[in-house]
A and B are shown apart, each in its own frame.
Chain A
Amino acid sequence: MVTTTGAGTDTDQSTGAERKLWAAAAAVTDPELPMLTLADLGILREVAVEADGTAAVWITPTYSGCPALAEMRVDVDRAARAAGFEHVEVRTALSPAWTTDWITDEGRRKLTEHGISPPGGAPRRPAGPIPLTLMPTRTVPRCPLCGAADTEELSRFGATSCKSLHRCRTCLEPFEHVKEI
């Protein structure tokens, strides 16, 4: 079994076949953010080769309604079979819920490199009611193109569930930001 907790990947208990399965699944890319692999996004949770030979891969959705999940399931299935596993099951892991804090440092670097501003820290969720905020509290992202700090929000939502739309006041270019959730 190979698992990830967001803090790192644990391969201690794994077999060679499982490391191979992990590598195959980890290299699959997100159809909407093709510069990121499932490992970069932090949505690949666990793999196991079970006693009957089933290659099981657990992935978690980013957003409940993310349509890319169906594509990713098919891509993982295909990648695992290409790596030599005959019977593959891609399973959904719902808990713990994914947040943008699961995106790895490598994933953040790749986002910036491709002109997409990476998310800041996910909002803290204290126990009890979610506090109401009447003032903008989200961090203002830096422009991923010129690095300037002076940017404005154009829309809280973007072309995919995970992004919002911004504009740099210095270089005047619009850019996308992976919104903190």
Chain B
Amino acid sequence: MSGENIFTGLTEEHDGDARWAFGTGFTEALAGVDTTLPAGVDGADLAAYCQMLGDDALVQSQRLVQWVTDAPELEEEVALANIALDLLGQARLLLARAGQADGTGRDEDAFAYHRSAAEFRNVHLTEVPRGDFARAVATLLVLSSWRLAVFTRLADSTDPVLSAIAAKAVNELAYHREYAVSWSLRLGDGTPYSNERMRAAVADVWPHTGELFATHPVEVSLAAQGVGVDPASVREEVHGVLDQVLTAATLPAPAPFPEGAVAGRDGRHTGELAPLLEELQRVAREHPEATW
């Protein structure tokens, strides 16, 4: 920084395009990646699918951020913030891919900051109100188990970009699931009181599990082409994982997943999403000319 004051440092052009304190490149998650669509793939479908998986990550990331400065222990705050950061990274890559696939050239910021709740494609599980720490653990347990199962398959996608994003995310998601499993065991198999709280948390999130396995028409079409994954195909695997964890945690064995219908994937959300987006989007919308 060479300016006489902070504002000069923030705004002046530097050699290259570095800006004081935070560098640049935030709109270039996929810079230099070959973004050609695979032959025969419908760009609009691929874009919608990337938004579904990207929005799950973005919304859950924002929900987790609500723990920052407010977690029971510093170590857990750092953990939740790190998980949120990994999910944010996955969201950036997926939303950047969506903007290429639909031909609009919209960047990740356009998707994150300038869509209304009805344009978001995330599942309701990611919107569940923050609640207590046990609920954060239960939400992460279900979401990371589901996402890990889907992304493991998605690593074989015929879209090379989606495949690469998924292969990378698998390593991160496996680590998130380990974290959620370790806390599920500790709380479930801890004191009667912690067991009760964890049991209540699982009950809170369970009604939202059915939607995870409801197949959207876009998923049908992309799964048939080997680009996407039909979430119904991971239903048994995910239930098996949760059964193993909850049983080991001395919690009640899980009920079958409820039958769920497509909702968030079509833009129908709970009342929790709009306030969360207000928090996420406010600065960008109030200062549309701002750069970062």
Contacts and interface: CB of A to CB of B under 8 A. Distances in A.
Interface stretch (A3-11, A18-26, A59-67, A142-150): A59-67
Q: Is the interface of B mostly helix, strand, loop or mixed?
A: helix
B163 A95 contact: yes
Contacts of B222: none
A171 interface: no
B79 A181 contact: no
Interface in A47-100: 56, 58, 61, 63-67, 69-71, 73-74, 77-78, 81, 89-99
Nearest to A100: B171
A36 to B, nearest CB: 18
B170 interface: yes
Interface size class of B (residues with CB under 8 A): 35 or more
Contacts of B76: 155
B78 A74 contact: no
Given A63-B86, A64-B172, A91 B148 contact: no
Contact of A129 (B25, B169, B175, B237): B237
A65 B90 contact: yes
B32 A90 contact: yes
Contacts of A70: 22-26, 28
Given A97-B167, A156-B178, A91 B31 contact: yes
A179 B86 CA distance: 14
Interface stretch (B10-18, B122-130, B199-207, B261-269): B10-18
Contact of B25 (A74, A136, A179, A181): A74
Interface string A111-122: 000000000001
B282 interface: no
Contacts of A130: 148, 152, 170, 174, 177
Given A63-B89, A155-B79, A132 B167 contact: no
A92 B245 contact: no
Nearest to A165: B75
Given A129-B152, A157-B78, A134 B185 contact: yes
9 contacts: A64-B172, A65-B89, A73-B25, A73-B28, A73-B31, A92-B31, A97-B168, A132-B241, A155-B79
Interface of B: 15-18, 22-26, 28-33, 75-76, 78-79, 81-83, 85-90, 92-93, 148-149, 152, 160-161, 163-165, 167-172, 174-175, 177-179, 181-182, 185, 237, 241, 244-245, 248
Given A93-B32, A94-B165, A130-B174, 15 more contacts: A64-B168, A64-B172, A65-B86, A65-B92, A70-B26, A70-B28, A74-B24, A74-B25, A91-B31, A91-B33, A94-B30, A94-B168, A97-B164, A97-B171, A158-B78
